[in-house]
Amino acid sequence: MDNVDATASTVYSISVVVPVYQGERTLAAVVAELEPYTRGARTPDGVAYRVSEVLLVHDNGPDHSDIVMRTLEVQYPFVSIIWLSRNFGQHAATIAGMAASKGRWILTMDEDGQHDPASIGAFLDTAIRERAGVVYARFTNERPHGLFRAAASRSSKRMLGAAFRLPDASQFQSYRLVRGDVGRKLAGFAATGVYLDVALSWVTNRVATSPTRLRTADGRVSGYSLPALFAYFWRMVLTSGTTGLRFVSVLGGIIAVIGVIIAIYIIASPNVGQEPETAGWASLIVVILLCSGAILVSLGVIAEYIGVSLNVAMGRPLYLVVDDPETIMPEDEPVTPETMRSADTATIPYLDPAEPQAVRPEPTVAPHGTENHPGAR
C-alpha cells in the first residue's frame, strides 16, 4: 500500500536524448511534440512524469541541423545542445547525451519523427510494472525499410541472440527508456566501438518491451547504406564478447576429429592407397586435417586472451554499483501545483496502437535553404 501511495505522489523526471545527424527538416517538429510533456503528464496507469530536458547531440551530419538546433535552444528553455567534434556515429552520440543527462529516466529517440512521444507514458508504466532497467519499443507495424532490410535486420539479431548468448538482441531498438543512474554510469566506462545495447546487457538483465507504432519517414531515405549496416552488425558481434572467438577453437577441434576418423578408416581399410593414382593422398589429407585443427585450436586459445583484452578495451565492468533498485525514485523537491500544472487533468493522451496515428505538428522553425537532403538515418 505504501508503494502505491509513493507512486501516486512521485513525479518521474525524464531526460530525452536525441542524436542528430540529418534533422534539418524534422527536428523542430520532434521538439514541438515533446514540449507539452515538459509541463507534466500522467501515464495510462496514472503515474506522474515530466520531460525535464531535451538533449540534442550534434553528430556533424551533412545538412544544416546545427542552425535549427541553435534556434530551438533559444526558443525552448528545456533544450540543450551537445556539440561533438566530428561524426562519431549514433551510438557514441547517444552515449554522450546520456552522460550529460540529469533525469531519473533517460529516453533515447531518433530525430526523424518516426518515434511517437505519446508512448513515453506506456514505457514508464512498463518499467515500473516489470521493474525493468531498460524498456525497448516493440513496433506493432511493419517498418518502412523495405523487405530485404527488415528481414536481414530480424535474422541477424536472432542469430546474434542465439549464437552469442544475447537473448534480448532481437529487442534492440534506438527508441528506448533507460534508468538514469544506469545510463550515466554506463556512459562513464563505455569505450570506443561499443554497441550501446550490448553494453546495456552487461549491466542489467531486467529488460522489457512496450508496444508502439513506428510512424512513416515521409519519403526520406535512410542515411544507412548496406556497408554501414554491416559495420553496425559487426560492431554488435565484437562487443558481444568472446563467444565468437571460441568458435575458432570449436572449429579446430571438429577438423582434428575428422582427421582422426579418416586416419582410423585408412588403417582399417586395406584397399585405401593401393591404386597408383591415389597413393599418398590419404596420409596427406590426414596430415592437413590434423595440422589445421591444431593451428585453429591454438588460435582459439590465443583468441581467448585477446578476448579478455577486448572486454577491457570496450569498457566492460567487473561490477556496477547503482541506486536503490526500487522503481519508486521520487524527485528531491516535493510535488507542487506548478510542477504538475496539467498532470492532474491528464491532458496529454496516451497513444493507443490500435487507434489511427495522430497528425504530427508542422515544424515551428523554418529549415535553412531549400536543398533536397536525404532523410535522417
Phi, psi of 364 (to 5 degrees): -90, -5
* C-alpha 11 chain-centroid distance: 26
Give me the pLDDT at residue 239, please.
59
Helices 180-189 and 90-100: angle between axes, nearest 10 degrees: 120
Give me the pLDDT at residue 341, please.
45
For residue 53, count other CB atoms closer than 10 A to its CB: 18
Give me the pLDDT at residue 195, please.
80
* pLDDT by residue, tens only, the chain of 377 residues: 445 455 556 899 999 999 999 999 999 999 999 999 999 999 999 999 999 999 999 998 888 999 999 999 999 999 999 999 888 888 889 999 999 999 999 999 999 999 999 999 999 999 999 999 999 999 888 665 555 555 555 555 555 555 555 555 668 889 999 999 999 999 988 877 778 888 888 888 889 999 999 887 654 444 555 566 556 566 556 655 556 666 666 777 777 777 778 777 777 776 655 565 556 666 777 777 777 777 777 776 676 667 666 666 666 665 556 666 554 455 544 444 454 444 444 444 444 444 554 455 554 444 444 444 433 45
Inter-residue contact 136 to 207 (CB < 8 Å): yes
* Torsion on CA atoms 115, 116, 122, 124, rounded to nearest 10: 60
Nine-digit cell string for 207: 529488460
Closest CA to 215 of 109, 298, 288: 109
Inter-residue contact 72 to 27 (CB < 8 Å): yes
C-alpha span between 236 and 70 (Å, rounded): 33
Inter-residue contact 113 to 29 (CB < 8 Å): yes
pTM for the model: 0.67
Give me the pLDDT at residue 282, please.
66
Give me the pLDDT at residue 133, please.
93
C-alpha span between 20 and 62 (Å, rounded): 11
Q: CA 116, 92, 212: angle at the middle one, nearest 5?
A: 20
Residue 115 DSSP label = B
- In this structure, the chain runs to a length of 377
Helices (H), the chain: 2-8, 27-34, 65-75, 90-100, 120-130, 147-163, 180-189, 196-203, 226-239, 243-268, 281-314
3-state secondary structure of 205: coil
Phi, psi of 362 (to 5 degrees): -70, 150
Give me the pLDDT at residue 173, please.
87
Going from the C-alpha of 230 to that of each of 86, 156, 168, 202, 233, the distances in angstroms are 21, 10, 19, 23, 5
